[in-house]
Structure 1
Amino acid sequence: MTRPGRLSVGVVGAGRVGAVLGAALARAGHDVVAASGISEASRTRIEALLPDARHVEPEEVVRSADLILLTVPDDSIHAVAAGLASLGAWRPGQIAVHASGRYGTEALADAAAAGALPLAIHPAMTFSGTSIDLDRLTDATFAVSAPAGVLPIAQALAVEMGGEPIVLEDADRPAYHAALVHGANHVVTAVTQAAAALSRIGVEEPGRLLRPLVHASVDGALADAPGAVATLTGPVVRGDAGTIAAHLASLQDQPETLHAYRAMARATADLALSGGRIGPAAYADIIATLGVDP
């Protein structure tokens, strides 16, 4: 028996995010009826995660469902929503959802103009595009933005997918997304560069060497957030300009890593100074040692 309040769902853009969110809504009891995707990977995800969905064109997806997941690349959301509006695909009362961290409901303006209810729902997690992600959604934070009258719908959908909603204003979403990218994607970049530097000197399993150190550092920073000054370690908070100079010299043949090291060491010195871990004299010595990129 179908539970009350269940919706027919369509997925426009069955990438890693769209297919998983569609599957999460199906697990909550909604009926995923149609999905679109161009690549072979998208077709495979539809078959694996959305087996009951018809694989059709975006216009037919929108015409087929009560709730549309518009999970295309961020920079395409507005254009795709507008294109579907020009075809008369949106209808009053339909729920239009995008999953971009950067944009609020303004990206769905053309759908809203046709009477659809615009929701921005962004899960703060990384996606592999497989069923593994369904368990990762449990207790993940979802940033939701919507007009006041329909905000409870956005919050309820986040809860149904297993997450914990937080409400953001549209204007705050770029800052929110920048924070997530800096705290997650840029950490991957730093770890990748560190592993490459270790590999260059003959360390065969750099990941094994880095794993306990990185995990302890990240766990400590998260436990001490937002300040995290107490968890800072290393030559910057020791005021050890000589060690920093040696690091810079060792990275001369790795310009990308050298540039990133300088930038993050400066930011670490700023944090250490503001948190009282180093004094003005040590700070000045560190900044002078770091110098500037050529």
Structure 2
Amino acid sequence: MRLKLGCCITLHGGDTIKVGFIGPGKVGVSLGRYFTHKGIKLSGFYGRNIENTKQAADITKSEFYDNIQDIINESNIIFITTPDDIISIIDNELSKFDLKNKSFCHTSGSLKSNVLCNAKHSGALIYSIHPIFAFSSKATNLDELEKIYLSIEGDIFDDSDIISLIKTLGNKHFIRKEEDSSTYHLANVFVSNLTLSLLEIGVGYLRKLGLNEEDALNALKPLVKGNVDSIYEKGFVNSLTGPVLRGDISTVEKHISVLEERDKDLYKILSLNLLELVALRSHGNMDGTEKTQENYTNSNYEKEKLIEDLFINSKKHEKIYKLLGGLD
């Protein structure tokens, strides 16, 4: 296969590669719009909901399919952009067809490519291609999609249609191993879904003071944004602020006294993690090394040694550690 820069992807014979979508939801339509923006030819959309599927085809100026065999015939690459629990059902449908020279990709971050094992047995190349992005609308800003990373797992080889597609998109990407899928998805959930939950808990404490959700969010927005910007500019260790860093025992005690019972374990676990970063920062200050997490391993022994060194020089941090349940 050869790649014509700045236009459609083509096969050896010069035929244009066409990309189809099974699933006309937020992810499928957003990616379809983005692919078209990048000069990639779409075949169209297939879905169970006819109205949504026709709308997706209209938005992307592509074809509407009411028969799965037709979209298979008309596409070289098909993205399955359905809810996770539907993917294996679609895979069973795909097993009825000859899929030689076809590539099938699902966009789930939690499922391995081998959820499409029946498609593979029918001759297809299979992939999990996960955009690291929260799609909240079919009208996703295309400029935002320019910035996202893609993670890829599956039948990777240099001359594949998928690699050519990724190169045409120009997005940064990395290849992950099949056995790392759960760890990979966990990372995404921590910084997306669980962060949302953590922010909601913080907003809840301002609501107790009488603020509504909108005012609470607006009040906290500069704090959240400033913290995130600092992390990207200086890293985690060098962005530390707050009572755990300062060794402010009385503030931590007051926090614990007003915490809702359900939030106490969460507060302590997260604060203990902060204390590990404080220990790393303190270690860097003492030996003159650059203070980043790259400078130490993630072994429990290494972390415990850093914390012990911190306590030698700071009894107030040792007391905070005890308050947080770090010592019996």
Q: TM (normalized to structure 2)? A: 0.76
* 1:248 and 2:256 correspond: yes
Q: In the aligned structure 2, how far is the partner of 1:197 from the partner of 1:40?
A: 45
Kept in 2, the 8 Å contact 1:49–1:131? The answer is: no
Q: Write the deviation string for residues 137-186 of structure 1: whole angstroms up to 9, x where unpaired.
A: 10311112233435753333234335212222222232222112212222
Cα deviation for residue 258 of structure 1 reads 3.8
* 1:179 and 2:187 correspond: yes
* 1:100 and 2:134 correspond: no
* 1:168 and 2:176 correspond: yes
Higher mean displacement: 149-158 or 195-204 = 149-158
* 1:232 and 2:266 correspond: no
DSSP 3-state at the match of 1:149: coil
Partner of 1:36: 46
Partner of 1:273: 279
Q: In the aligned structure 2, how far is the partner of 1:283 from the partner of 1:58?
A: 62
Partner of 2:320: 286
In structure 2, the CA distance between the partners of 1:203 and 1:23, relative to structure 1 (3 Å rule), is same
DSSP 3-state at the match of 1:14: coil
In structure 2, the CA distance between the partners of 1:218 and 1:39, relative to structure 1 (3 Å rule), is farther
AA partner of residue 22 (structure 1): G
| 1:133-172 to 2 correspondences below 5 Å | 133-149=141-157, 152-172=160-180
In structure 2, the CA distance between the partners of 1:89 and 1:224, relative to structure 1 (3 Å rule), is farther
Q: In the aligned structure 2, how far is the partner of 1:42 from the partner of 1:234?
A: 48
Q: In the aligned structure 2, how far is the partner of 1:161 from the partner of 1:31?
A: 12
Partner of 2:267: 261
AA partner of residue 81 (structure 1): D
AA partner of residue 264 (structure 1): L
Q: Write the deviation string for residues 21-57 of structure 1: whole angstroms up to 9, x where unpaired.
A: 1222223333333323345894485155334221425
Q: TM (normalized to structure 1)? A: 0.84
Kept in 1, the 8 Å contact 2:18–2:43? The answer is: yes
| 1:9-20 to 2 correspondences below 5 Å | 9-20=19-30
Partner of 1:21: 31
Instruction: Count matched residues.
Output: 285
Kept in 2, the 8 Å contact 1:21–1:161? The answer is: no
Higher mean displacement: 139-148 or 40-49 = 40-49
DSSP 3-state at the match of 1:137: helix
DSSP 3-state at the match of 2:239: coil
Partner of 1:110: 118
Aligned identity (percent) is 24
DSSP 3-state at the match of 1:132: coil
AA partner of residue 175 (structure 2): V
Cα deviation for residue 122 of structure 1 reads 1.4
Q: In the aligned structure 2, how far is the partner of 1:151 from the partner of 1:16?
A: 30
AA partner of residue 183 (structure 1): V
Cα deviation for residue 59 of structure 1 reads 4.8
Partner of 1:125: 133
Kept in 2, the 8 Å contact 1:95–1:116? The answer is: yes
AA partner of residue 289 (structure 1): L
* 1:215 and 2:225 correspond: yes
Partner of 2:3: none
Q: In the aligned structure 2, how far is the partner of 1:45 from the partner of 1:287?
A: 56
